[in-house]
Chains A and B, each alone.
Chain A
Amino acid sequence: MSNTPPDLLYSKTHEWVRPEGEEAVIGITFFAQEALGDVTYVEMPREGDALTAGGEFGSVESVKAASELVSPVSGTVVAANAELETAPETLNSSPYNEGWIVRVRLSAKPDGLMDAAAYEAHCAAEKH
């Protein structure tokens, strides 16, 4: 698996978005989980919570740091990944699949996000 799947959209703050019709799935990228190190706790919104693009919607704690989750889209949470409550390490082992964080019903079309190539360039710039 590539570290930056080509079919996703990416935010500057290292969240990914997989649009699926009226809905979208959100998680954090391979780069983000690697920078954080072993994830120990994921604080997630609940079903029905409203997310605003650019707004905080939870946090990820690792052995190194606690980091805010910034929503890349606006909408309403339809599901949060319950598996992360008991197995936060899933964020490390499968950031793009089993480690998804929330599923959102979009209230606006995703805007201002990057494609995989632009995101890889963004990560390369951030390394220095």
Chain B
Amino acid sequence: MKTIFAESVPGRGSRFFASDAPAAAKMLPAGLLRSRPPRLPECSELDVVRHFTRLSRLNYSVDANFYPLGSCTMKYNPKFTEYVAGLPGFARLHPLLAQLGRGAARTQGALRCLHEIEVLLCEITGMEAFTLQPMAGANGEFTGVSLMAAYHRAKGRARAKMLIPDSAHGTNPASAALAGLEIVNVESRDGMVDPEALAACLAEHDGDVVGLMMTCPNTLGLMESRLPEIVALLRGADALLYYDGANMNAILGKMRVGDAGFDVVHLNLHKTFATPHGGGGPGSGPVGVNARLLPFLPAPRVVKGEDGDFFLNDNLPQSIGAVGPFYGSFAVIVKALAYMLRLGGEGLERVAEYAVLNANYLKKRLQNVLDIPFERICAHEFVASAPEGLRALDIAKALLDRGFHAPTVYFPLIVRECLMAEPTETESKQTLDAYVEALREIVEQGGKDPAGLAAAPLNMPVRRLDETTAARRMALTEDMG
């Protein structure tokens, strides 16, 4: 694939203008200076437009195709939210203004948005308060885990173990480890957290357990059926219960995690509340807490004063500090707020209903095509195994040729040759039916001609990539000349 540098012709574009600013050599140590000027691409506007338009056509997006990537909630992102976030009062607002003397008075609209989304998120989840600072899900997890650790520290305890079910997202153990905790794996039974296994873990690490991180419904698309027992066990050990909001789409308006006994929750606004994501961002991962954890929330917090004005409160002596710049991904938060207000409570409930209906419809229709290990009604997503003799990876690649994004493959790890699909509420029956037919064709083809299937994709910009060599001989830099 050609980079923009390949389009460069000397003299066509970039010019350096004379400047009165002091030379870099006067400001930086010699070791940090370039030995020669950077090579910048020299292109006309048309070169640039064509280059990036070409790149965009190689891209795969939910605006173009069905995108059933499990646990990623790749729903359609309605365009009116882009309009709202692009309003000059939001788009041109300087992030420092609210923090300057009398700046709050000039940013009441923006502060009100932050306050209102916090109130709505509390209503949806049953939590006491939210921080909007975390920039994405994993940042939210780190924040949540840090809050749990701060709770125990404030009680004078040096607890060090975080319990994590074997069906958890890989980011859960990574976030807990980053926060300095040791991970203890809790084995699941029938795809769910097993209270007996949990009790055994709590007994083995008595007095040392910070809490349990749960995804509910879990990554198998199953609703945990023994939650009250789990909550009681943790309360008994004064350990905290964390809710990973990756699968929030399944329970919007149907279950409030705070009422169910969770102490801390992170949400992915970019998944559940329909802001564009994938390819690394921008995300937004607000973290909600109940009263026990409220004193430790990151500073500053937006507060509504008695006079009805909004201001930033920095005076939070027990706060864990800042976890992201300013107030989080402000534009993403504005889009999510616009989405929530547009749908209303009834609309958000319908999101969960259709998300679950679509997943169950797809699961039922695929029953004779793939191996479905759990027959129970699923939530917003489900797992399937490639039929005996076929590989999940080959099926995934063949789907690309037929105009569908692949489901998540080889996750969760406890399912053989796993394909994990989350259709979301925004897909029509016609799209789901077409996806079923594509899979049926692929499985049939694979049965007759496995080698042909292993050659897929044939019609993509690139053929089968050698992931193994890419991982074994990593090239993480490119020579820019």
Contacts and interface: CB of A to CB of B under 8 A. Distances in A.
Contacts of A66: 170
A105 B416 CA distance: 36
Interface in A24-79: 37-38, 40-41, 61, 63-67
B468 A40 contact: yes
Interface in B169-193: 170
A57 B467 CA distance: 26
Interface of B: 170, 410-411, 413, 416, 467-468, 471-472
Contacts of B410: 37, 64-65
Contacts of A67: 413
A89 interface: yes
B471 A41 contact: yes
A40 B472 contact: yes
Nearest to B409: A64
Contacts of A89: 468, 472
A19 B468 CA distance: 33
Contacts of B472: 40-41, 88-89
- With a 10 A CB-CB cut-off, give which of A37, A38, A64, A66 has the most chain B CB atoms: A64
B411 to A, nearest CB: 8
A87 to B, nearest CB: 9
B413 A63 contact: no
A63 B468 contact: yes
Contacts, number: 23
Interface residues of A, number: 13
A37 B468 CA distance: 9
Interface in A87-126: 88-89
Nearest to A87: B472
A65 B471 contact: no
A103 B413 CA distance: 28
Contact of B468 (A38, A65, A127): A38
Contact of A40 (B170, B413, B416, B471): B471
Give the top 8 A-B pairs by smallest Cβ distance, nearest first: A40-B471, A38-B468, A64-B410, A63-B467, A40-B472, A65-B413, A63-B468, A63-B471
Contacts of A65: 410-411, 413
Contacts of B468: 38, 40, 63, 89
A29 B243 CA distance: 35
A67 to B, nearest CB: 8
Given A67-B413, A88-B472, 13 more contacts: A37-B410, A38-B467, A40-B471, A40-B472, A41-B471, A41-B472, A63-B471, A64-B410, A65-B410, A65-B411, A65-B413, A89-B472, A127-B416
Contacts of B471: 38, 40-41, 61, 63
A89 B473 CA distance: 12
A41 B410 CA distance: 18
Contacts of B170: 66
A12 B464 CA distance: 35
A88 B471 CA distance: 11
Nearest to B170: A66
A65 B468 CA distance: 12
23 contacts: A37-B410, A38-B467, A38-B468, A38-B471, A40-B468, A40-B471, A40-B472, A41-B471, A41-B472, A61-B471, A63-B467, A63-B468, A63-B471, A64-B410, A65-B410, A65-B411, A65-B413, A66-B170, A67-B413, A88-B472, A89-B468, A89-B472, A127-B416
